[in-house]
Structure 1
């Protein structure tokens, strides 16, 4: 089973460019991404992302089904489930896989990450009520006054953005050689340098990206018609994936979504950013990061 298990898992964090990284890696001739991108195989049973039909509790022998067969022994298999960083099951089981996968964690300035989670789960999905403001969402998340449809990433958004304790647990289980922590801001600033570094760390040729066109994936959007979007969410996971599905999704996106409007830096956001500034120094020391881009956002 060793050759059918991934050598790389993009394990965090949500709304930090992991979909783009997955697509860019998947285009490399020496890699093969999972289907779907987020297998969610190691998500906890109490997570909103838990899949009753595909999970660790059914047995590890099911996991290789997410990876198509390949005759290339040097092909890097990988998947990207960014909520793994918070999963008890993932933390317990991924470090024990026979393939000894490396785990990549991409961090984003906490206030911006939380705001992106808010937009994503209120527009792309409907876990957060559309009439709930960002300030009200922060209050509900901090007080635990809303269930958000069982979505733990929304319910515990502030705890999830305090990255250091989560990363320390993973480093303790994986060791330093199998963990890499990067920044979303570096990805946005220089995707070529970012992906070349990831490729070199994974042992694949970084020169593939020298003339690569870096197109973003899975960006948040605003919904035009909420009722139509509710119907879309109710049926989209039941439809067979393929060219017809991609065509229909493209048509739907064209007519019922619009690009997300750039957020204004309001008082709620500024207070949130100030709240997390005390976490920067220990995070930098522990993982050798340069968080000056986070500080410069002021």
Structure 2
């Protein structure tokens, strides 16, 4: 029975894609065929995939994503679905496996995570109108208004603040798996010192860290600037329907030349002010995280740094 024995379970916009690809390169690791399987997503969550999920396929369906691991016999089989952190299904299912998987979380300073999600939703997903500023989005979220979002993905963005209150979600994971089977990484460490981050994760997952001594830590799944949202929506809807890889690659290059600006996203003064205001809101949440995980989150604090 081929199931994962390690799962990267969150959180979104906290470097999980980069972390997954770093681990997937390791010779002792076999990665799922899709980075995010979404297999254990709750039925009522927007990212639920009715065509292939635990609720209709059972555990046998989960093995589909790890068929390539059968002959490799790796030390580690891994998948990474960032929204698992918010779900009940993986907490109920994964502890029942013959080998209980080790769980990895990457967490990011809330204001920065929400700002990254805003840019990703506006550009990569094109579900926020370009006219909506970050500060106005936050005001709308706090007022529980529509925020000019396309209906399908409203909930994920509207819950951006709630979803950044990590302690409440992690408490349930710790209850199910035990603190010893959960590793929490800071996104800030992963980006500023990836080698040190992979050292701690390698020890936790019991794989050889020597592989990362001269590793090229390239970032994955970064937000880009989309010039025309209407064109991006067409690409998202029809791009994967191009069956021939040669034409798909050609279409991708053509599309990126026309509609993607890869220059770094620059925060406005208003953006910076809003990010700082959000981080101030999370002072008590950071304390709950410290108590729950026995870790230091003071680097995330605005209040503590200014008093």
Q: Please indicate the TM-score interval, normalised by the length of the shorter structure.
A: over 0.9
Deviations 1:88-141 (A, max 9, x none): 222222222223111111100000001111111111012222221111211222
C-alpha distance in 2 between matches for 1:48 and 1:241: 30
CA distance in 2, matches of 1:25, 1:191: 12
Tell me the equivalent position of 1:293.
Answer: 299
CA distance change for structure 1 residues 246 and 201 in 2, over 3 Å: closer, same or farther?
Answer: farther
C-alpha distance in 1 between matches for 2:251 and 2:53 = 29
Q: How does 1:1-298 map to 2 (within 5 A)?
A: 1=1, 4-58=2-56, 59-67=58-66, 68-146=68-146, 148=149, 149-151=151-153, 152-240=155-243, 245-246=248-249, 248-259=251-262, 260-266=264-270, 267-295=273-301
**TM-score normalised by the chain length of structure 1:** 0.92
SS state of the match for residue 129, structure 1? Answer: coil
| C-alpha distance in structure 2 between counterparts of 1:81 and 1:102, whole Å | 14
Deviations 1:24-67 (A, max 9, x none): 11111111111210000011122221111110112111111111
Asked if structure 2 preserves the Cα contact closer than 8 Å seen for 1:104 and 1:180, the reply is yes
* 8 Å CA contact retained: 1:185, 1:293: no
How many residues align? The count is 296
- Return the alpha-carbon distance in structure 2 between the equivalents of residues 210 and 145 of structure 1: 48
SS in 2 for 1:165: helix
Q: Which runs of 5+ in 1 are unaligned?
A: none
Q: CA RMSD in A?
A: 2.0
- Tell me the secondary structure at the aligned position of residue 123 of structure 2: helix
Residues 33 and 79, structure 1, Cα contact 8 Å, conserved in 2: yes
CA gap of 1:72–1:244, structure 2 versus 1, over 3 A, is: same
Q: TM-score, normalised by structure 2?
A: 0.90
- Greater CA drift, 160-169 or 257-266: 257-266
| Structure 2 gap ranges (5+) | none
In structure 2, C-alpha distance between the alignment counterparts of 1:204 and 1:60, rounded to whole Å? 26
Residues 136-161 of structure 1 deviation map (CA, whole Å, 9 limit, x = unaligned): 21122222212842323212111000
- Deviation of 1:236 after TM superposition, in Å, equals 2.9
Asked if structure 1 preserves the Cα contact closer than 8 Å seen for 2:279 and 2:301, the reply is no
1:122–1:130 Cα contact (<8 Å) kept: yes
CA contact 2:30–2:69 (8 Å) conserved in 1: no
Q: Do the aligned partners of 2:12 and 2:82 also contact (CA within 8 Å) in 1?
A: yes
User: Comparing 147-156 with 10-19, which one deviates more in the overlay?
Assistant: 147-156
- Find the aligned partners of 1:43 and 1:63 in 2 and give their Cα distance: 12
